[in-house]
Amino acid sequence: MQYRHAPAANHAALDAVLASAPGRPTLPVRLTVELAGRARVHLPADAPLTVWDPCCGAGATLTVLGLLVPGLARVVGTDADPGPLDLARRNLALLDPGGLTARAADLEALAARHDKPSYAEAATAARTLVPAGTPAWSVTLADARDTAAVRSALAGAGPHGTGPDLVLADLPHGHRTTWAASPTRTGGVAGTPAPDAGPVRAAADDRDPGVEFLRAVATALRPDAVVVAVGRGRTVPLPGGARPLERVRVGHRAAVLVRAGALQEG
């Protein structure tokens, strides 16, 4: 993939400003900005956007978007696991007026206490970063397949309450970020996490947890909303018949951009 919307930059200091949980890797900053830029091409120009991350984890993806991408009105995070949501609130507080200054002060205190230059560098990054905007934000515990919980978390989101314009989801992969146990799938042991999505299969399969997830996410969206899903492996499977807007590969990741309407029909 050639980067068209995110110039090369060293984001190490921004990474250090974000609070992260060990073993919970997040999308690279540049890839996050690039995918938002590509999605934006398919959305009305200059309209303030509402972005939903339905598996927001520690909120890094949404915080990076809020800090670096102009024109966001609101970012909404939901996740089936309560574990990382306090971190998500901490990260998203960076989008509040004064949020970066407060984080810089925390990092300076840590730098003084532990005599660690990395904290001081992160503090400088927090003080010098000029945020692209100050979108409103919220974080809620919700399994993306639980329609009622999702609708309540998204209440009032989007222009005139019409829901999010853009979904950006880094799909679960690996040991620490597995799919939550399905409330609907049969054949498994209740409460047992679905197997690691592993290298995602190219063929659409309704039993694929990613396909089930995308279908569920689309039920909460307007047909013209754009969904960006990122997975590990060669491709991100879509429901049968759903035509993507675009597919990209970058390193060991694959991403798909697709209209919610295509997911609803697929």
Rounded distance between C-alpha atoms, residue 117 and residue 15, angstroms: 15
Among 6, 54, 197, 215, binds ligand SAM (CB under 6 A): 54
Q: Which of 31, 34, 79, 242 binds ligand SAM (CB under 6 A)?
A: 79
Alpha carbons within 13 A on the beta-carbon side of 58:
18
Binding residue for ligand SAM (CB under 6 A) from 34, 165, 170, 208?
A: 170
Regarding 210 and contact with ligand SAM (CB under 6 A), the answer is: no
Closest C-alpha to 62, from 98, 87, 97: 87
Classified as helix, coil or strand, 27 is coil
CB 164 within 8 A of CB 233: no
Candidate residues 172, 231, 239, 244; the one interacting with ligand SAM per rule CB under 6 A: 172
As a whole number of angstroms, the distance between CA 225 and CA 245 comes to: 12
208 touching ligand SAM, by CB under 6 A: no
Which of the residues 9 through 28 are near ligand SAM (CB under 6 A)?
Answer: 26
Residues near ligand SAM (CB under 6 A), total: 23
- Asked whether position 55 contacts ligand SAM by CB under 6 A, the answer is yes
Closest CA to 154 of 217, 64, 229, 215: 217
The answer to whether 158 contacts ligand SAM (rule: CB under 6 A) is no
Window contacting ligand SAM (CB under 6 A); options: 111-119, 141-149, 158-166, 241-249: 141-149
144 lies in the site for ligand SAM, by CB under 6 A: yes
Q: Does 231 contact ligand SAM by CB under 6 A?
A: no
Are 66 and 131 within 8 A, CB to CB?
yes
